[in-house]
Structure formats: structure tokens, C-alpha cells
Amino acid sequence: LPGVGAETSALTLHWRSWHDGLGAPSSSTIHCAGPANVSASLLATAAGEAETSMMYGQQVIHFECHSAGAVRCTLRLAWDALRRGPELQFRKRCGGVRHDVDIASDLKAHPVVLLQGQVDPSWSATPSAELAAGLDRASFTVLRHSAGDRIRLAMPSITISDTHVLRAHIEGPLASGGVVDSATGGGELQVVTECIGAGTSHIQVAVSFAEAGLFKPPS
């Protein structure tokens, strides 16, 4: 099996059997071991019967990551103690950089902030994106890159390099965190600024994920 990414919390495997008398593999087990702390559980297997003597169904695996890292999981399909089926192994990754997140801005010159978890160079530690003196706010939309689990965000944080030049705070639906479950609508936050002196100051906004300690916050 291919590796299971950090953003995936459930995996569905489809099976079929030519022995219709066996039924579903109701005694299957899963075990994960490695540097990360991961809980894995099996949802009751769903089964159906085709027009022939073949049985078919699906086995759903749920994962819960408790620390960052990777583990190797082993799934053993089994019907009872005497009827054990195939053993499948795969790698499950937890934490790190999320690749299912996009962030867009309303600045026409720099609309892409984050794409699949990667920060655009114009918004990096040495940014070229700039809020002109006549503008006092910038809007950002957080989107899910593709179909998958909801993205749960914690409260974002803001850092100002020179507090003698400006003040800034965050407003909008995601100002206190929230859930993003759309790849088109997304959720919005606004960085509102107030100039209190002459000069230039860098503003850094860290968008943190609710799974504290697992995923690196893009900023």
C-alpha cells in the first residue's frame, strides 16, 4: 500500500472474496509501531453479495495522531482465529507540513500566499508583498486545497517587528480560529493596521492548526 499522509484521518480499503460462506472479515486487527504515537481502530466491515458467489465490502481504518512522526501499520484481515487472510503493511505519517491548505490574499500584486502548504516567496521571511501607506487592512482567505478532512484552525497569532511604527490586530470569522471545509468558499481573516509613526514594519501572521504540536503553522 502507498503511504498515508499526515492530513488523512481515515482510510477505506475495498475487498472481495469468492468464498461467500465466510462473510465479512469481522476479526481483523491493526497495529501501528514507530517513533510517533498513533491510535488506529477498525470500523465494522460493510459487506454485500454479488450476483455470483462473490462477497465484497470495505474496511475503514481510523487514525488519531498524538505526536508528530511516522509509524508502520500492519492490517491483518481475519474471519476468526482459524481463518486469517492477507496481511497488509503501510506507513502512516503524522504532523509536519500540511499540504492540503491554500491561502489567498486580496492584494492584486500578490494573490497567492500559500499553495499546498508552501509559502509563496513574496510572503516569505524576506517578503516583497507590501501594504501601501494608504491601506489599513489586508484580507486573507484560507481554503482546503482538495477534497478531504476539514481543516481545524486555532487562533492565529500576529507579530510586529517595529511597534513604534504601527499597531495591528486580526479580525474576521477566523480571528479566533475555526473550521474550513471548502475548497472554494473558505474562511476569511483580516489584518487591520494603524500607523503610529513613520517607517516600515514587518507583520508576521502565524495560522496555527488545532492539532497542537503536530503540524507546523504556516506564517
Q: What is the separation of C-alpha 162 from the centre of its chain, rounded to a whole number of angstroms?
A: 33
Model pLDDT for residues 21-74, shown as the tens digit of each residue: 677 788 899 999 887 788 899 987 767 766 666 778 888 999 888 888 889 999
Q: What angle do CA 3, 148, 31 make, to 5 degrees?
A: 40
CA atoms within 13 A on the CB side of 163: 3
pLDDT in tens, 116-138: 888 888 888 777 788 888 889 99
Closest CA to 25 of 50, 56, 49, 54: 56
pTM here?
0.63
